[in-house]
């Protein structure tokens, strides 16, 4: 029987068929307009669910243009994913300059006090493909497009201040090594495999970045709690023409916060979109993520060194003790993208998108990047006109002479496609050096053509050692365990041995711990490095004797803000909804989120229930609370309640209980005298304040250390 139109498919009316208010008419005529379904040519169609057939049981007719257009377009919906940084999440926001950077740079968006600039920021993992999990161990990207009045400036940064390699020519090798093995295409989004550690252990310049991402920095708790770093040294120029060498930082207002490894692994299964969801939820709930932009400003010295550190070597950082980070502006991410593909996927960043006042240096890694980004985007975005895509369009006026090409969407007028011309009145003209015009700084260039590194690039171990020394004991334990995990996943003993030899050059204790974990003897300390010029202590790099730097450890004495953090509260029908309301209000004042976990969805009185033990996971909570009135409830007896509590305890999270909620902790053997476990007979302001403080400290670090020492 023919079923040409189902009953619910009433013809379109002036309200949308979903019952939702009519879609807003977009100012972009190429996106949806009005409520009627049309073809790409604007033809209204009467049916989109049935192909045109010769009778209900007959063959489909080739003349069905709507069918062919619909399927053909679908067939081409995917574009190549980024070769690196394929998986990402992004948001719109605003950057406000404090104005104090005017002494360093003439870039208007930094130098003008109170100047607000629209931005689009994309966070990403590096290794995994678009569908991979968010919480894998990886370096992460932190790219920001500043739509300034002087043209678009892209700060294409990472969340770790140094990079694996010193020269762009090694980038294909690095990425081939870390991507899945070419035969079976496994493992996905992991560095824990032979080819990566084979490469990393033989090019020991990787050792600084690898120790960073073996630490908590490789598994951030959320994108909201990552630092960002421009990595390279840039040259800034102020309005008087004075130049400085500068390193660029993003400092998260919410503090640096990482996962522990088990949490990261659980999240990969329970919620592979963990970071993407967290960013979008926080923005939707008004807990806008914020960062301050900071600059380390160093003299533009002839040798481009600063206190023994080669500023052209991207495997080196400058300790903040030697050069403080000066805060020059604030980034607030306040709006989620409307369409993932149009914005997050199609955005194209480029470290060469500069504005007057910010220029590049001779860092050989940066120089290679200046070639790579445009090149890859021509393939990924299907031709040279992707700057016309809405997300990539500059907010400054454009008068280029770029013409034609795939996907040209501009209708250029006139004859002025060459210079000099007379037929177009000589326009457009190049600008004389003036404010707002980009003039490359004249810098002398000399030297023989060579494939060589400077001697100062040869020190591969001083700064990894400084990093190791700067970690707290529990962070050191987690870092050593990460090496044991990663190398333990390698099959080749020779690869493990090579990496152990590199670790021996960083720190004997680190090496001994990892060797013990792998069940092999400590190696003799031979580096095994294949790259020319590599070695220990060759040339400068001693960072003027700084052996420990404060900016690295996440363990702080004072609690930070708990904005956007999520507290899971177990409560059930026997609990007092008034108490839940008091707690909710107190947490809301801190801009933290409270989620009630009960034995059923719906409400407890007027309090909404967001989770049941079936849908709740420990990984989504920064602290777990047990309300009074639970002890006899089915919720208390649920096996997942137990596992959530045990995981929260094991991961060093705050655990709070009052009234008979304390009995539930006792029943499951949670040590109520442990650090960060807070109990009382009733919900008091002290208990609430204790909770806020404990979350602000991120974790009960001593508890984690005690569990680690006990081997649990
Ligand atoms: Fe990238 N990088 N990169 N990179 N990179 C790309 O460009 C490349 C490096 C970074 O959210 C690609 O459009 C080379 C350092 C981020 O869209 C590609 C080298 C840093 C993103 C590329 C590096 C970065 C990319 C892939 C060694 C931190 C994501 C897709 C010389 C300072 C941008 C694309 C986004 C993306 C090349 C090293 C950051 C292939 C050759 C160092 C955050 O062009």
* Domain residue ranges in the chain: 88-167+226-388, 566-709
Atom of ligand 1 nearest to the CA of 167: 31
The model carries a pTM of 0.94
Name the pairing type of β-strands 88-97 and 116-125: antiparallel
Q: Which residues pair with 382 in a beta bridge?
A: none
Q: What is the 3-state secondary structure (H, E, C) of 394-454?
A: CCCCCCCCCCCCCCCCCCCCCCCCCCCCCCCCCCCCCCCCCCCCCCCCCCCCCCCCCCCCC
State how far the alpha carbon of 197 is from the alpha carbons of 86, 510, 676, in Å.
22, 17, 37
Report whether pLDDT(542) > 70.
no
The dihedral over CA atoms of 211, 213, 216, 219, expressed in degrees to the nearest 10, equals -160
Contact (CB, 8 A) for 380 and 82: yes
Is 249's C-beta closer than 6 angstroms to any atom of ligand 1? no
Ligand 1 pocket check: which of 82, 142, 234, 344 to mutate, most ligand atoms within 8 Å of Cβ?
Answer: 82
Pull the structure tokens for residue 78.
Answer: 């995917």
CA 65 to centroid of ligand 1, rounded, Å = 41
Q: Which residues are annotated as a binding site for heme?
A: 82, 122, 171, 369, 373, 380
Q: Quick one: average pLDDT of 103-119?
A: 98
Ligand 1 atom 32, closest CA: 157
Give ipTM to 2 decimals.
Answer: 0.97
Give SS3 for 93.
strand
Give SS3 for 84.
coil
Ligand 1 atom 8, closest CA: 369
Q: What is the 3-state secondary structure (H, E, C) of 521-570?
A: CCCCCCCCCCCCCCECCCCCCCHHHCCCCCCCCCCCCCCCCCCCCEEEEE
Q: Tokens 């980024």 identify what position?
A: 82
Name the pairing type of β-strands 623-626 and 654-658: parallel
Note the pLDDT tens digit of each residue in 664-673. 999 999 999 9
Is 349's C-beta closer than 6 angstroms to any atom of ligand 1? yes
User: Is CATH 2.40.180.10 correct for 88-167+226-388?
Assistant: yes
Is 175's C-beta closer than 6 angstroms to any atom of ligand 1? no
d(CA 712, CA 543): 38
Nearest to 651 by CA among 629, 623, 627: 623
Contact (CB, 8 A) for 206 and 160: no
Residues 6+ apart with CB under 8 A from 385: 402, 405, 406, 407, 408, 409
d(CA 140, CA 252): 15
Is 365's C-beta closer than 6 angstroms to any atom of ligand 1? yes
Residues 6+ apart with CB under 8 A from 319: 466, 543, 546, 549, 551
308-347 b/e with 16+ CB inside 10 Å = b?
bbbbbbbbbbbbbebbebbbbbbbbbeebbeeeeebbbbb
Note the pLDDT tens digit of each residue in 441-500. 999 999 999 999 999 999 999 999 999 999 999 999 999 999 999 999 999 999 999 999
Is 369's C-beta closer than 6 angstroms to any atom of ligand 1? yes
Q: Topology of domain 566-709, per CATH? A: Rossmann fold (3.40.50)
Note the pLDDT tens digit of each residue in 378-427. 999 999 999 999 999 999 999 999 999 999 999 999 998 999 999 999 99
Note the pLDDT tens digit of each residue in 6-44. 434 444 344 333 344 444 455 676 778 899 999 999 999
d(CA 31, CA 12): 19
CA 373 to centroid of ligand 1, rounded, Å = 7
Note the pLDDT tens digit of each residue in 189-246. 999 999 999 999 999 999 999 999 999 999 999 999 999 999 999 999 999 999 999 9
d(CA 312, CA 307): 13
Residues 6+ apart with CB under 8 A from 396: 147, 148, 149, 150, 151, 152
10 Å Cβ neighbour count for 613? Answer: 21
**Quick one: residue 405, left, alpha or beta (phi over 0 = left, psi -120 to 50 = alpha)?**
left
**Out of 189-198, 262-271, 535-544, 620-629, which region has the weakest mean confidence (pLDDT)?**
535-544
Ligand 1 atom 11, closest CA: 122
Contact (CB, 8 A) for 50 and 66: no
Residue 686 exposure: Cα atoms within 13 Å on the Cβ side: 6
Is 438's C-beta closer than 6 angstroms to any atom of ligand 1? no
Nearest to 486 by CA among 518, 464, 526, 455: 518
Which residue numbers are catalytic?
85, 158
Report whether pLDDT(173) > 90.
yes
Ligand 1 pocket check: which of 156, 176, 386 to mutate, most ligand atoms within 8 Å of Cβ?
Answer: 156
Report whether pLDDT(626) > 70.
yes
Length of the chain: 712
> What DSSP line would sit under 289-336, residue for residue?
-EEEEEEEEEE--TT-EETTEETT-TT----TTTSPPEEEEEEEEEE-
Report whether pLDDT(144) > 90.
yes
Give SS3 for 140.
strand
Residues 6+ apart with CB under 8 A from 594: 566, 567, 569, 580, 583, 584, 587, 588
CA 531 to centroid of ligand 1, rounded, Å = 23
Predicted local confidence at residue 546, as pLDDT = 81
Contact (CB, 8 A) for 78 and 122: no
């Amino acid at each position: 029987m023919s079923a040409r139109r189902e009953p619910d498919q009433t013809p379109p009316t002036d309200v949308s068929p979903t019952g939702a208010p009519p879609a807003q008419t977009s100012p972009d005529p190429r996106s949806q307009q009005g409520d009627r379904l049309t073809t790409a040519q604007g033809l209204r169609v009467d049916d989109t669910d049935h192909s045109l057939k010769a009778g209900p049981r007959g063959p489909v007719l080739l003349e069905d243009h709507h069918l062919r257009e619909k399927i053909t377009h679908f067939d081409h919906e995917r574009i190549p994913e980024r070769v690196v940084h394929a998986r990402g999440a992004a948001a719109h926001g605003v950057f406000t300059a404090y104005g104090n950077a005017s002494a360093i740079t003439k870039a208007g968006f930094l130098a003008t006090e109170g100047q607000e600039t629209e931005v689009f920021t994309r966070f990403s993992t590096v290794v995994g493909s678009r569908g991979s999990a968010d919480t894998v161990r990886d370096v992460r990207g932190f790219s920001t497009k500043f739509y300034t009045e002087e043209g678009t400036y892209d700060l294409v940064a990472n969340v770790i201040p140094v990079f694996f390699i010193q020269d762009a020519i090694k980038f294909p090798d690095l990425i081939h090594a870390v991507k899945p093995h070419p035969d079976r295409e496994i493992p996905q989004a992991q560095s824990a495999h032979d080819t990566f550690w084979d490469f990393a252990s033989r090019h020991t310049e990787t050792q600084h970045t690898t120790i960073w991402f073996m630490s908590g920095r490789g598994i951030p708790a959320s994108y909201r709690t990552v630092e960002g770093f421009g990595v390279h040294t840039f040259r800034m120029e102020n309005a008087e023409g004075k130049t400085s060498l500068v390193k660029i930082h993003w400092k998260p207002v919410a503090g640096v916060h990482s996962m522990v490894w088990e949490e990261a692994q659980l999240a990969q299964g329970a919620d592979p979109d963990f970071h993407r969801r967290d960013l979008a939820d926080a923005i939707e709930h008004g807990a806008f993520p914020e960062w301050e932009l900071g600059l380390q400003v160093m003299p533009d010295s002839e040798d481009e060194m600063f206190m023994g550190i080669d500023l052209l070597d991207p495997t080196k950082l400058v300790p903040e003790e030697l050069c403080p980070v000066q805060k020059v502006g604030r980034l607030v991410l306040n709006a989620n993208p409307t369409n993932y593909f149009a914005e997050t996927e199609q955005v194209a960043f480029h470290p060469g998108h500069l504005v007057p006042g910010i220029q590049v240096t001779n860092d050989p890694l940066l120089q290679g990047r200046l070639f790579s980004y445009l090149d890859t985007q021509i393939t990924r975005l299907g031709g040279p006109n992707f700057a016309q895509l809405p997300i990539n369009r500059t907010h400054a006026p454009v008068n280029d002479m770029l013409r034609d090409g795939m996907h040209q969407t501009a209708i250029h007028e006139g004859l002025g496609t060459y210079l000099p011309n007379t037929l177009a009145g000589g326009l457009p003209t190049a600008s004389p050096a003036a404010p707002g015009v980009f003039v490359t700084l004249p810098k002398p260039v000399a030297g023989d053509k060579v494939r060589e590194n400077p001697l100062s690039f040869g020190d591969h171990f001083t700064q990894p050692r400084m990093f190791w020394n700067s970690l707290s004991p529990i962070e050191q334990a987690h870092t050593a365990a990460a090496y044991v995990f990663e190398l333990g996943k390698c099959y080749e003993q020779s690869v493990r041995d090579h990496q152990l030899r590199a670790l021996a050059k960083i720190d004997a204790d680190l090496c001994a711990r990892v060797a013990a974990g792998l069940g092999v003897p400590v190696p003799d300390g031979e580096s095994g490095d294949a790259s020319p010029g590599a070695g220990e202590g060759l040339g400068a790099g001693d960072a003027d004797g700084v052996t420990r730097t404060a900016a690295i450890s996440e363990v702080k004495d004072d609690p930070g803000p708990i904005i956007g953090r999520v507290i899971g509260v177990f409560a059930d029908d026997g609990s007092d909804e008034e108490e839940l309301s008091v707690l909710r209000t107190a947490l809301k004042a801190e801009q933290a989120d409270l989620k009630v976990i009960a034995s059923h969805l719906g409400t407890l009185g007027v309090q909404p229930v967001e989770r049941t033990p079936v849908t709740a996971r420990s990984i989504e909570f920064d602290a777990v609370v047990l309300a009074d009135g639970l002890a006899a409830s089915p919720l208390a007896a649920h096996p997942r309640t137990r596992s959530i509590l045990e995981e929260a305890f094991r991961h060093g999270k705050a655990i709070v209980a009052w009234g008979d909620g304390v009995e539930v902790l006792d029943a499951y053997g949670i040590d109520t005298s442990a650090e960060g476990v807070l109990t009382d007979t009733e919900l008091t302001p002290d208990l609430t304040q204790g909770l806020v403080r404990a979350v602000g400290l991120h974790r009960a670090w001593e508890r984690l250390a005690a569990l680690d020492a006990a081997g649990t």
